[in-house]
C-alpha cells in the first residue's frame, strides 16, 4: 500500500526530475551512473536505475539530449549524455516556469 504522502512525492518528483537531469547535464556531460550518484545527493531525487535509463532514452528520442560513447584505456565504454540546443532552450523554459510556479505557491502559502 502506498501512503498518500508517497504518491504525492512520486508525482512531484516526476515533474521535477527531468528538469534536474537537464540542469545537471548543463554543467558537464555525464554517463548514467555518474548522473545517478549526483541525483542521489539530494533527498527528493533518489530514483532507481530502472527509472533513470529509460528516461534518458526518452530524452534522447525527444532530441533534448545527445549521447556518445567514450572508452578510456581498458575500461568498458561508457555512454555519455550532453544537452542539445533543444535541451538548453527547454531547460531555460522549464526554469522560468518553475520559478514562476514557486513564487505563486509561496505567495499562496503565505496568505
Partner 1 sequence: MEREMARNELIHSYLSELEMYLSRVNKIQAQEIVKEIESHIYDSLIMESDESHDTTEVVLGRLGTPKELASGYIEHINIGVAPPKGLKPMTKITMGMSKSFYYLIFVLGGSLGLTFIATALAKLIAPPKFGVWIAEHGNSIIVSFSNNSYHSNEVPAIWLVPISLLSGLVILYLTKRLTQLLKVFV
Residues near partner 1 (CB under 8 A) are 31-33, 48-51, 53-55, 57-58, 61, 76-79
Classify residue 72 by its DSSP letter: -
- Residue 83 CB, nearest distance to partner 1 (Å)? 18
Closest CB 92 distance from partner 1, rounded Å: 24
Q: Smallest gap, in angstroms, from Cβ of residue 57 to partner 1?
A: 6
What SS3 class is residue 81? strand
- In this complex, which beta carbon is closest to partner 1, that of residue 57 or of residue 85? 57
Are residues 60 and 79 in contact, defined by beta-carbon separation less than 8 angstroms?
no
H or E segment to which residue 11 belongs? helix 4-27
Amino acid at each position: 500500500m502506498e501512503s498518500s504522502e508517497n504518491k504525492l512525492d512520486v508525482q512531484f518528483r516526476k515533474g521535477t526530475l527531468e528538469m534536474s537531469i537537464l540542469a545537471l547535464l548543463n554543467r558537464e556531460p555525464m554517463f548514467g551512473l555518474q548522473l545517478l550518484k549526483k541525483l542521489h545527493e539530494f533527498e527528493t531525487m533518489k530514483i532507481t536505475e530502472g527509472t533513470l535509463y529509460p528516461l534518458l532514452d526518452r530524452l534522447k528520442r525527444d532530441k533534448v539530449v545527445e549521447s556518445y560513447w567514450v572508452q578510456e584505456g581498458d575500461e568498458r565504454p561508457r555512454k555519455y549524455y550532453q544537452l542539445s540546443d533543444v535541451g538548453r532552450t527547454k531547460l531555460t523554459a522549464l526554469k522560468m516556469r518553475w520559478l514562476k510556479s514557486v513564487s505563486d505557491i509561496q505567495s499562496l502559502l503565505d496568505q
